[in-house]
Amino acid sequence: MSEVSFPDLETYRREVFIQEDPLLKSVMPEAVALGLPPVSVNPDAGMTLHLLARMIGARKILEFGALAGYSAIWLARALPREGRLISLELDPKHARIARANLARARLADRAEVRAGSALQMMAEVSAEAPFDMVFIDADKESYPRYLDFALDHVRLGGLIVADNADGHGHVHENLEPGDGRRGIQTYNRRVASDRRLVSHALPIGGWLAVSVKVEE
Ligand code: SAH
Ligand code: MG
């Protein structure tokens, strides 16, 4: 078999490993054309979320922040047919677009987008616990509260993953009071030191903070 060569090592890594199909490729350009911000995870992080969910045999996943459903598609594709993804999304327009994309990906049977404030929907979502995986990617100031919920509602051996753990490149700096990214600073310190978790920040996309629950 002849091998094609790639312009550089990084292109090789992405092209050989990242299973981003045409549907996934179309989600964010179309969403941006409809006025949504281009703030989904990148393909590298999407592939990683999918891999993590597969590695633990996830059947039930909770997502904070759907946007257009890009990360939700990666996650839901890791689920078995009877699996379930619940994604909480504040903006009704984002929620509509995410639902349409999940339907287009033929995942409507296992993936659901609930519109409203995640903080307000957490109580009802607790009825669906325990989750195998929680992916946190909504408003940054609420990360510590999403973490509290995840710690209480993820099974032993389950994963808590947060996007943008690098605070858009500023997590190591002194941030002004009121800066939402302070929530990420708190989140990182907490997952790194909580005895119930083993955590690391993977420098993929805007960093994925990955935690496995090892104690109740
Ligand atoms: N996970 C998505 C990107 C999410 S962007 C992906 O990678 O494809 C962050 C989303 O969180 C936005 O759509 C925003 O509307 C939503 N959001 C912001 N505050 C929220 C809240 N309090 N509750 C639920 N969703 C919220
Ligand atoms: Mg993000």
Render pLDDT for 147-187 as a digit per residue (tens, 0 to 9). Answer: 999 999 999 999 999 999 999 999 999 999 999 999 999 99
Task: Give me the residue spans of the domains in the chain.
Answer: 40-213
Looking at residues 69-78, what average pLDDT do you find?
A: 99
Q: What's the 88 CA to ligand 2 centre distance in angstroms?
A: 14
Assess whether pLDDT exceeds 70 at residue 56.
yes
Looking at residues 47-62, what average pLDDT do you find?
A: 98
The pTM for the full model equals: 0.98
| Closest ligand 1 atom number to CA of residue 117 | 23
Listed in sequence order, the residues at least 6 apart from 139 whose beta carbon sits closer than 8 Å to its beta carbon are 65, 90, 180, 183
**Residues with a CB atom less than 6 Å from ligand 1:** 39-41, 65-67, 70-71, 88-91, 94, 117-119, 137-139, 142
Render pLDDT for 106-115 as a digit per residue (tens, 0 to 9). Answer: 999 999 999 9
Q: What is the pLDDT of residue 2?
A: 58
Q: What is the percent of the chain where pLDDT is above 70?
A: 99
Q: What is the pLDDT of residue 4?
A: 82
Going by DSSP bridges, is the β-strand pair 154-163/131-136 parallel, antiparallel, or unpaired?
A: parallel
Which helix (H) or strand (E) segment holds residue 213: the answer is: strand 208-213
40-213: which CATH number, 3.40.190.10, 3.40.50.300, 1.20.272.10, 3.40.50.150?
Answer: 3.40.50.150
Looking at residues 114-124, what average pLDDT do you find?
A: 97
Render pLDDT for 19-36 as a digit per residue (tens, 0 to 9). Answer: 999 999 999 999 999 999
